[in-house]
Amino acid sequence: MNVSETIKQKLTQHFDPDILVIEDISEQHRGHPDWREGGNTHFAVKIATRHFASSSRVAQHRAVMAVLDDEFKAGVHALTIEIINA
């Protein structure tokens, strides 16, 4: 399973999102010190879930980051998170 699929699976299991879009944007960071050939270093996530309804933006982002902690330890360098109000 590639990193995008792992991210999708974990976020789906934890948040049961109504909307979830994962995009590998690593190529946009070519030349950056943590960029690697083949991608899987920089991702953009768009997510809408009822689990975030009463949480602050900071709490929402921390929750996503906590779920993906292992991916960061394994080499994901950056994650752009967009919370969509559904």
- 10-residue mean pLDDT profile of the chain (86 residues): values are 92 97 80 64 94 93 96 90 88
Query: What's the token pair of residue 34?
Result: 């943590």
Q: pLDDT value at position 38?
A: 59
Radius of gyration for the alpha carbons in the chain, expressed in angstroms and rounded:
13
pTM for this entry: 0.87
Q: pLDDT value at position 57?
A: 94
Number of Cβ atoms within 10 Å of the Cβ of 6: 17
Q: pLDDT value at position 30?
A: 66
Chain centroid to CA 74: how far? 14
